[in-house]
Each structure stands twice: as structure tokens, then as C-alpha cells.
Amino acid sequence: MCLSDRERGVKPLNARKIIVGVTGSIAAYKSAELVRKLKQQGCEVTVVMTPAATEFITPLTLETLSGRPVATEFFPAARRPEVLHISLAQWADLLVVAPATANVIGKVAAGIADELLATVIMATEAPVLFAPAMNAAMYSNPILTANISRLRQYGYQFVEPEAGELACGGIGTGRLAPIETILEAIEGLLSCSPQGTEKLIQRGSSELSGKKVLVTAGRTEEDLDPVRFLTNRSSGKMGYALASEAEKRGAEVILVSGPSSLPSLPGVRLISVRSAEQMSREVKQWFPRCDVLLMAAAVSDFRPRNKTTSKIKKQEGLLLELEKTPDILLEIKSLKGDKGVGGFALETEDGLTNARRKLKSKGLDFIVLNAPTALGADANQVTVLGADGKTERLSQMSKLEVARGILDRVVGLLRTKCSDS
Ligand code: C5P
């Protein structure tokens, strides 16, 4: 645990030396804003561009904004006495690659250093933060997933892309994270590394190492018209606590989250969604590749049957017609096999009876019955009902402690499944 610079009253970015690596994604133009914001906060910024990045944005733009020469070539025509990639690698307090293509991530994961940026990344001892941006299909390619996970194991950090409209057309996960989010991640890394040159601590293997855990969190939003939607008060705290705890125990964690104001978790792959339909699509895509699903999201059970494209006018009364959303746990039930699946229930009456019914009908290994006061709160009082018929009532505790209890159960479950097979 380290005191943040904010807690010490220090501006975390002031006078820090930052390399902004820019690669060949259409989002390269957004790096100009990142450089500008870093400069405004008092950083010294050197931009390193891959040859492909220079096709999207000119070095002149980034040179003007950073106030320093932009490095693009491994062997610049005007030779300098120092070895460029080593001097850059040693100069930096932090290196951020924004946008990061599948190519640069793949190269570093494979130890390939065939151009300046990849070489600087390999040579630096400073924290390295990747902000991927690419087409949704590329982002969900399992090769990229494996590369990200490999890099994470070595202590490289990631700011997840967002879901939304993509430059290549269509909608999906692959948009560069907002610049503010990238700045927060940079601040976070630097404030835990006062000299900026501390090596990131590598994680040893632990109970869930080698396991993939899929967690859903938060609420969903079901659109009624362009400005209104149906939702609930879920904050995402329980799901984020589960994701964080699973990651601490060595799992590779994919967090599919509905709208939430919680900060993204270092080391956890975040997939942001809004509606039950989008959450269902992502869970169905990731579930087959995972060992465990913890379905903590408060998925809306209903959505408006029709969504209007223009705002519904004020009127005397309005009768809303609702339809059922896809029941995600039911949809993936037939794919379960020997995967571990845990669900959540929140009931205002007959909690145990209803939870037991859901446990059975959804084919779960266990279900966590929440107290109705849990929504949005930091603490929770839960009862865990197992498929083996056992019921365990935990006392009121923080959601992180509840998450630890649930992950203990998951570890036990995986051991049993392993010894049975
Ligand atoms: O049946 P009920 O919706 O109350 O069950 C709650 C459990 O089912 C939670 O784990 C929740 O994430 C999941 N769920 C789902 N798909 C829905 C609604 C809830 O998977 N449409």
C-alpha cells in the first residue's frame, strides 16, 4: 500500500518524463489530445511513432504539441552519439502506448523488437501502459487475448477499450479508452512509483493461476427512447470486488460490466456494455473460453418492447409495453459442462425458496442470495446456497470480504471438479 501523491499533496504528473508511443490505428489522432493534456499537467513528453502511425497523423503535429522532436526511426539519418532506443528507455518515468494496435501488443508479447517503439518498450524498466484501439473482431481474437494476458503476467498494464461505434463501421468493443481514463491510469501508476522507475511487481502463481474467470457486474440500461431508459440501482461493487479478488488469486479475469462509475481494475480485462442484449452477446462469446462464470450483474428482466427513435412527447398518460430480456444464465446453461457457474439473487420476499428455485432452473453450482439493502451499498449480508444442498449464511461484511468468501468457494469447486474428472 502506498500513499498516493494526491494524499501527499503532490501533483502526480508534474515534471514526470513520459514517452507517448503512437501506433497505426485510426485513433492515432487522439494521441494529440493525450500529449496536450500531459503537457498541461507539467509532464515532459517525448513521442515515439511507428512508421504506420505517421500515415495517420503527422510527426509535426505531435512535435509541436510536445515541444520535443518526435522519434520515428530506429536509424535516423542524423546520427546521434547516444544509442537512441536505450537513451529513450532510460529517460522515461513511464511509457504509454495510445493507441496500441494488435501488432505492437503481439510484437512485445513475442519479444520482437524490429522498430523503434517496440525496442524502447522492450528496453525500458519504467512502467508500460497499453491503451488498445482496434476493430472489435480483432480485439476479441483469442491470439490478442492470449498476448494481453501474457504481457499482464510480466507486469505490463492495460487500459481497456470501450464499446461503441467504431471507425471501421459497426458497433463493438475496440474504441480507445477516453483520454481522461488513460490519464487516470498514468497518474495511478506514477503515484505508486515515486521515482517512476520502479519495476512493476510480478505476480507469482496462486490458487487460480491458469484459470479464466468471467464476471458480470452492474446494472443494464434498456432504452425507451433516445434519452430515457429502464434500469436499477446496482453499482457494480459486488462484481468488481469479485473480479479484483479473482485477479489477485492469479486468474485471468474478464469483466463484462454494465454502466458503473467504478474505476477500471488493473489487470482485469473490462468489456463495457449497456443493455441485457449486449451483455448476453459478450457472455456467450467469452463463456466457452472460461472456466468459471460469476454472474453478479443485476440484469434488467424487462425492456420496452419498442424503442422510439425520437423522444416521446409529454402526454396525459403513457402505457409502456415491456418484454422479457434474454435470461443469460438460461441461455448458456447447455454450454456449462464442467465449468463453475455462480449466480446471484435479490429477493424482497421468500428469499431462500426463490433462490433455491433459481439455482435449480438455471443449472448453477451455487447462488448468492443478497440482502435487499445490498444494491449500491459497500457492505452486504449474503447466504450462499450450493447445488449440493448446503446453505451457508455469512454475517454482514464488506463486499470485498464477501468476494473473498465466494472465491474460496470457487477454488473448492474447481478442485472438486478436477478430482472428479
Ligand atoms: O431470475 P433472476 O433474474 O432473479 O436471477 C438472477 C440471476 O440471473 C443473476 O445471477 C443475474 O445476473 C442472472 N440474470 C441473467 N439474465 C437475466 C436476468 C438475470 O443471467 N436476464
Please indicate whether residue 293, judged by its CB atom, sits closer than 6 Å to ligand 1. Answer: no
Cell numbers 424482497 label which residue? 348
Looking at the whole model, is its pTM more than 0.95?
no
Residue nearest to atom 21 of ligand 1 (CA): 327
Is it the case that residue 205 has pLDDT exceeding 50? Answer: no
C-alpha span between 98 and 112 (Å, rounded): 19
Q: Please, what are the domains in the chain?
A: 17-200 (3.40.50.1950), 207-304+322-420 (3.40.50.10300)
Cα torsion 372, 374, 379, 380 to 10°: value is 50
Q: Is 168 a catalytic residue?
A: yes
Contact status, residue 279 vs residue 295, Cβ threshold 8 Å: no
Atom of ligand 1 nearest to the CA of 361: 1
C-alpha span between 170 and 393 (Å, rounded): 46
Residue nearest to atom 17 of ligand 1 (CA): 327
Measure 299 CA to ligand 1 centroid, in angstroms: 6
Please indicate whether residue 367, judged by its CB atom, sits closer than 6 Å to ligand 1. Answer: no
Cis bond before residue 226 (omega within 30° of 0): no
Is it the case that residue 142 has pLDDT exceeding 70? Answer: yes
C-alpha span between 331 and 216 (Å, rounded): 15
Measure 327 CA to ligand 1 centroid, in angstroms: 6
Per-residue DSSP letter, 300 = -
Please indicate whether residue 343, judged by its CB atom, sits closer than 6 Å to ligand 1. Answer: yes
pLDDT at 77: 60
Beta strand pairing call for 302-304 and 322-324: antiparallel
C-alpha span between 191 and 5 (Å, rounded): 5
Which entry of 168, 192, 290, 418 is annotated as an active-site residue? 168
Across 408-420, average pLDDT? 85
Question: Which run of H or of E encompasses 98?
Answer: strand 94-100
What pLDDT digit, counting tens, does each position of 50-76 carry? 999 999 999 999 999 999 999 998 776
What pLDDT digit, counting tens, does each position of 219-253 carry? 999 999 999 999 999 999 999 999 999 998 999 99
Q: In the structure, what pLDDT confidence band is assigned to residue 421 with cuts at 50, 70 and 90? A: low
Please indicate whether residue 369, judged by its CB atom, sits closer than 6 Å to ligand 1. Answer: no
Residue nearest to atom 1 of ligand 1 (CA): 358
Across 307-327, average pLDDT? 95
Question: Which run of H or of E encompasses 225?
Answer: none
How many C-beta atoms lie closer than 10 Å to residue 135's C-beta? Answer: 19
What pLDDT digit, counting tens, does each position of 250-260 carry? 999 999 999 99
Q: Which of 279, 293, 299, 361 is the pocket-test mutation for ligand 1 (most atoms within 8 Å of CB)?
A: 299
Q: In the structure, what pLDDT confidence band is assigned to residue 82 with cuts at 50, 70 and 90? A: low
Question: Which run of H or of E encompasses 9?
Answer: none
C-alpha span between 342 and 402 (Å, rounded): 14
